[in-house]
Each structure stands twice: as structure tokens, then as C-alpha cells.
Amino acid sequence: MKMFDVIISGGAMAGATLALALDASFGGKLRIAVVESCDFSTQAHPGFDARSIALSDGTVQILQAYQLWDAIQPYATPISSIHISDRGHAGMTDLEANRLGMSALGYVVELADVGQVYHRLLQERAAISLFCPATIQSVERTTDEVQVQLADQSTLRGKLLIAADGNTSTCCHQLGITSEVRDFEQVAVIANVELDQPHQGQAFERFTTSGPLALLPMSRQRMAMAWCVRPDSWAEMLSQDDDTFLAKLQQTFGWRLGKMNRVGTRAAYPLKLTYRSRAVSHRFAIIGNAAQTLHPIAGQGFNLGIRDIATLVEEVRRHPDDVGCYAALSAFQQRRTPDRQKTMIMTSTLVHTFSNAWFPAVVGRNLGLMAIDNLPVLKQPLLTRTLGYVSR
């Protein structure tokens, strides 16, 4: 039986970031176990797959505080501007870094690159023990500790267990913490697209009749594409030959980025909002996609999750003798609830507003986009969420 202070279930983006953040915040004095089911050494982790994510400036500041940004930055592409528009209509708004006196609004990273960085850092930190591949078979809690049994029958004991193992979290399932699920009735088709000219750091969110189409700048004149479509059309989009798919993409997006030359492997992800109303239980906390999985519109998912991480780290630091105590977890839950709810409402409202072909809704959202572009009082809330300057 091995004793730790914190046991983290899940070693992808949320779990690895949390482990490294705790290690940095406690100066390597906290004993941390990371239990990960996927063998990093023999296969690509599904949490570090071909997708790319946008890191807001607020997220970058948190990563800097934990001395993680320097390792990630070489793989990051800065976002100089974000153009938001409604296809075929006049409404649009622009967010530009130079107008805000910023070097970048945020950065785009490929999850596969971050996965390699994190795996190396986890192995370098003496206070972090990586159990991989391993799965948690059972969880037992007493007044003062939590005990988990792994599939190989070994046992880990700790003061706090944290679920960072995605929206189908096994830990949450074992402890009976259910999630509410809302099906957006959309599927995200993702791929990397190569351009014939530099993208100059531009990012785009274009609302189409089928759902939002996002293009994020990447290295080597590439864009990370996430195209949200109805469930009855994604299979055809994956089966089309590259030229046919590119022609459809070019027609839908337009020519603001010039000609799209090549498209990489396409994949599809059903889009659902999953949300656990309780983020804590006795000696147990839930973060990242295990706590809430959002629609990718506006790129809020990991940026919301890292605010979970930063708040949890702050609260457990206030109780170094018992990091899983009720006071720490209660404060974490109380602080995170408003941000989680506001971000979920914002993203869900955007999905429904911009996927509605009803004429009054089309007129209303285009007037809204034009108003946001011209009235600072309306633009500021959008900027606050986009840049990640959100109260925790």
C-alpha cells in the first residue's frame, strides 16, 4: 500500500496540468499520484490527439505562474485577431490584439505536442508518481483519507482524490455522482487545413446554417478546423475525397485566407453538454471535462478547466496539513460555481442563437454582432470571456 497526499485520476490535459501545478505550488513537497489508463509509451493518448485548442491570455498567465508556459510556448501559435461573422449576412465583429495593446489574444497548441511536453515533465518531477497504464477499480473513503484499488490489486491511499478523467469519469461513476447531459444535435468534424499563403495569426468563427465553423492558426501555414454540422451529414463529410471536401469548405468559409490547398485526416466528435452540479464530495473533487464538457464554440473548454485547477490549487494550499479537508473543498465548490454556470450558459446560448435559421433570429443576431463591433459596452463582456480574464 502506497501513501500519497493527492491522487489524480486521469493524466491528459486537466490531470497533468493539475499534477504539475500542485508540484510547483508546494515546491515538490506534496506526494502526488497520477493514475492513467492509456500507456503513453506505446500509443497516442486520446486526450492528446490530433485536435488543437485555443489558450486564452488568462490561461497563459496561469500556466506561467506554474512555470509551465516556457515548455509549451515553442509549440504555440499566437492569435493576432479573431473575426466573428454570420455566413451570408452583414453581421460581424473583430477582436484585434494590437488595438488592445497586446502581443496576442491567445495561442493555439496541438494537443499531441502538449502531451509529449507533459509526459516528459511528469517523469522529471520526483514528487509525482505516474501509474500508467492503470485503472481505478474501487474507491473507499474514511473520515481522514481516501483509498483506491487499481486493476492490478495494488492500493493507493491519500488525503484527496481528484477526478480529471473526462466526461465518462469512472471515479464519478463509482461514487454515484451523475451528470446531466444535453445533446446539441451537432457533430464536430475536425481536421488540419493547409493554406497557400500565411494566415498572419488570424482566427475565425463563422456561423453557418449547420452550425459554427472555426478556423484557428497553426504552424506551417495551417489552420485547425472545427466544423459543427448536423448528425446526418458528418459521415458523408468524412467519406468525401479531399478535393470535394476542400471545395465545400472553401465555398462555406470564403476566401479571406486565400486558397485552401490540403486537408489532413478528418475525425468526428458528437457534441453534448455534460455537467455535474456537484464538483466536490467527501475527500473528492472534480475538474475539467469530468466536471463539465462544453460545446467548442468560443473555445471555452480547457480555459474553463484550468480555472478549476487554479482555484483548487489555491484552496488546498491554504490547508497544507490536510489538502482534502472539508474547508478546502467547500471553498473550491463555492468559488467555481458562478464561473461554470455563466460559461455554460454563454456557450449554450451562442449555439442556439447562431444555429437558428428563423428569420427574426437571423436579423437579431446580425444586429447584435454589428452592435458588439461598434459599442464598447457590449464588446467588453465578449472580450472578458475570450481573453479569460474571469473572476475565480
Pick the residue with more confidence: 50 or 64?
64
Q: Is residue 68 part of a domain?
A: yes
Q: Is residue 84 part of a domain?
A: no
Query: 254-268: per-residue pLDDT in tens?
Result: 999 999 999 999 999
| pLDDT interval class at 377 (50, 70, 90) | very low
| pLDDT interval class at 382 (50, 70, 90) | low
Q: Is residue 98 part of a domain?
A: no
- Grid coordinates of 200: 498572419
Of 4-8, 328-332, 385-389, which gets the smallest average pLDDT?
385-389
pLDDT at 361: 41
Q: In whole angstroms, how far apart are CA 56 and each of 35, 82, 111, 124, 153?
A: 28, 12, 15, 27, 41
Q: Fill in the DSSP letter of residue 349.
A: H
The pTM score is 0.89
Phi, psi of 102 (to 5 degrees): -115, 150
- Report the percent of the chain where pLDDT is more than 70: 85
Q: Is residue 129 part of a domain?
A: yes
| pLDDT interval class at 347 (50, 70, 90) | confident
- Cβ 357 vs Cβ 366: under 8 Å: no
Q: Is residue 2 part of a domain?
A: yes
pLDDT at 164: 97
Query: 167-223: per-residue pLDDT in tens?
Result: 999 999 999 999 999 888 889 899 999 999 999 999 998 877 777 888 999 999 999
Read off the CATH number of the domain in which 140 is found.
Answer: 3.50.50.60
Query: 124-175: per-residue pLDDT in tens?
Result: 999 999 999 999 999 999 999 999 999 999 999 999 999 999 999 999 999 9
Q: Is residue 164 part of a domain?
A: yes
Q: Which runs of E-coded beta strand occur in 132-170?
A: 136-141, 146-150, 155-158, 160-163
Mean pLDDT (the chain) is 87
Q: What is the count of structural domains for the chain?
A: 1
| Residue-number span of the structural domain to which 221 is assigned | 1-75+108-357
Query: 32-47: per-residue pLDDT in tens?
Result: 999 999 876 655 555 5
Q: Is residue 306 part of a domain?
A: yes
Q: Is residue 6 part of a domain?
A: yes
- Grid coordinates of 20: 504539475
pLDDT at 211: 72
> For residue 348, with 0-12 CB atoms within 10 Å meaning exposed, 13-18 middle and 19 or more buried, which class applies?
middle
